[in-house]
């Protein structure tokens, strides 16, 4: 990747001084001829120059900013992830700009555009809405370094966890407890990392010679309400155990099963995914697949800083381990 286009580049291309470029682009162009103004605007457009608004407020470049976009800051997984980035950024004298898109692609694109125009030094994107098209048109064009968190399929540096293994560990655990009818509550529109969890679920069944039953895969929203609604569908199956696509859904499933008069784990053994802090405070405490959320934030920030300092070279990918944390929401069949 090339370095970010500066006002000096625009001035050189237009054959004028940096002061002239600054005055014209900031609306103070009356003193200049139409030809001079046109040369500056043409140079700006050709070079895809974005004014560095931060430079107006910062005397030096001692403080840098990064943008962080997550789909839902209210999800405990992402709030913990963001806290980890904030901690790492503070130590390196960076200011993180945290934005939650609420899974709204239009809002997310607006955020991306605004972050570009505010000349952030880099971006961490943990939302599936941003694809290769948006990255090419908004980020690569303006030479802004970025990093993706496992659910995005575009090119670029990436930090991820072993989703397939995580789901397999969960299902293996339930099978070892004697369960054979195991449901999975899945996202309605799964991203790449969630598809890998579904594949891990299938792999575990196959390794134990248990046929895959599509009716046991229950699609729902990745929210607590989605978990409540999924409980009704789960009860209509023959399943005695269930893996949820994340802990947020598991929280809702607890409520949905309780409303239906069902008990965990007596009626259903439940395994979540993420191992958020709330899991051990549920009744019963939730068995879950632990993702190293703090490490995800740490390595995401570390890789992005490396890319900011040296914005070239091949894309890097870090895959972090997962583990099963057994609590009281699972029991023998």
102 and 219, same domain (yes or no): no
174 and 279, same domain (yes or no): yes
Assess if residue 16 is contained within a domain: yes
Q: Domain with 154 in it: what CATH number?
A: 3.40.50.2300
Give the three-class secondary structure for 242.
strand
206 and 269, same domain (yes or no): yes
Assess if residue 270 is contained within a domain: yes
The residue ranges of the chain whose pLDDT is under 50 are 1, 57-60
130 and 17, same domain (yes or no): no
SS (H, E, C) 36-56: HHHHHHHHHHHHCCCCCHHHH
Q: What is the H or E stretch that residue 104 is in?
A: none
Q: How far is CA 207 from CA 48, 183, 211, 233, 271, in A?
A: 53, 16, 10, 26, 19
Q: What is the pLDDT of residues 196-236, one digit of tens each?
A: 999 999 999 999 999 999 999 999 999 999 999 999 999 99
169 and 284, same domain (yes or no): yes
**pTM for the structure as a whole:** 0.80
Assess if residue 333 is contained within a domain: no
250 and 302, same domain (yes or no): no
The pLDDT of residue 224: 96
CA 237 to chain centre: 32
Residue matched to tokens 């914005």: 311
> What tokens does 326 get?
């057994």
> What tokens does 83 get?
């806290």
Assess if residue 283 is contained within a domain: yes
What count of residues does the chain have? Answer: 333
32 and 120, same domain (yes or no): no
The pLDDT of residue 60: 41
Counting the structural domains of the chain, the total is 3
Question: Which domain range does residue 207 map to?
Answer: 163-291
169 and 281, same domain (yes or no): yes
145 and 172, same domain (yes or no): no
The pLDDT of residue 278: 95
Assess if residue 274 is contained within a domain: yes
């Amino acid at each position: 990747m090339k370095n970010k286009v500066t006002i000096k580049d625009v001035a050189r291309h237009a054959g004028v001084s940096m002061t002239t470029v600054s005055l014209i682009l900031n609306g103070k162009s009356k003193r200049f001829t139409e030809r001079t103004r046109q040369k500056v605007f043409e140079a700006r457009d050709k070079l895809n120059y974005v004014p560095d608004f931060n430079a107006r407020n910062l005397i030096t470049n001692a403080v840098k900013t990064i943008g962080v976009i997550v789909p839902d800051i209210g999800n405990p997984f992402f709030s913990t992830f963001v806290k980890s980035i904030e901690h790492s950024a503070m130590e390196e004298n960076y200011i993180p700009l945290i934005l939650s898109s609420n899974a709204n692609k239009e809002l997310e694109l607006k955020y991306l555009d605004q972050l570009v125009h505010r000349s952030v030094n880099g971006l961490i994107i943990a939302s599936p809405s941003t694809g290769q098209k948006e990255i090419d048109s908004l980020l690569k064009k303006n030479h802004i370094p970025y990093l993706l968190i496992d659910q995005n399929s575009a090119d670029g540096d990436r930090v991820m966890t072993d989703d397939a293994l995580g789901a397999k560990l969960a299902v293996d655990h339930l099978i070892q407890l004697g369960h054979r009818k195991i449901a999975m509550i899945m996202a309605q529109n799964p991203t790449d990392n969630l598809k890998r969890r579904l594949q891990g679920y299938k792999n575990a069944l196959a390794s134990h010679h248990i046929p895959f039953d599509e009716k046991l895969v229950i699609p729902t929203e990745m929210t607590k309400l989605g978990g409540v609604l999924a409980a009704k569908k789960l009860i209509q199956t023959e399943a005695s155990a269930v893996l949820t696509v994340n802990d947020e859904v598991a929280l809702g499933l607890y409520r949905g099963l309780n409303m239906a008069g069902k008990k965990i784990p007596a009626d259903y053994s439940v395994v979540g995914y993420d191992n958020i802090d709330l899991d051990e405070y549920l009744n019963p405490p939730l068995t879950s697949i632990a993702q190293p959320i703090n490490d995800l934030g740490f390595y995401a920030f570390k890789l992005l800083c490396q890319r900011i300092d040296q914005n070239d070279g091949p894309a890097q990918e870090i895959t972090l381990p997962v583990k099963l944390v057994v609590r009281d929401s699972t029991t023998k069949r």
